[in-house]
Amino acid sequence: MQSFLSTTPCLLNYRTRKIRLQVQGETAKVEGAKPKGAIHIIRQLGIVGLYKGSSACLLRDIPFSALYFTAYSHLKSDVFHEGYNGKRLSFLETLGAAAIALVDRHSPHLV
């Protein structure tokens, strides 16, 4: 959960800049203009503008993360028996738990 809280603010404005750069690049191709960089977009939108629309992203990301991390934790302890008699999971068992949790919870994230 800490990783979600620390990466979400960084990734939200990254997505905004990425989309703006893509749109600007396509527009520049059509109009024949020179595309401007990310600094221009940041100056144009400002810090607050970079986070506009972030509530929609958070409404999508928070439930997904809550479901994913809960499923991952339960899979590790209940299916792969981590912690019973001091058992530590191997890399493949950990990867398996993460993959199952992701497949099981990825559909609501895409909707």
- String of DSSP letters for 73-92: HHIIIIIS-TTGGG----HH
Residue 31: its pLDDT value, please?
81
Query: How confident is the model at residue 61, as a pLDDT?
Result: 76
Helix, strand or coil, per DSSP, at residue 74 = helix
Q: What are the 10-residue block averages of pLDDT along the chain, 111 residues in total?
A: 64 77 83 80 82 78 80 84 82 85 65 53
98 Cβ contact partners less than 8 Å away, ≥ 6 residues apart: 72
CB 105 within 8 A of CB 65: no
The domain spans of the chain are 1-52, 55-111
Q: Is the pTM of this model over 0.85?
A: no
Q: How many whole angstroms separate alpha carbon 56 and alpha carbon 13?
A: 13
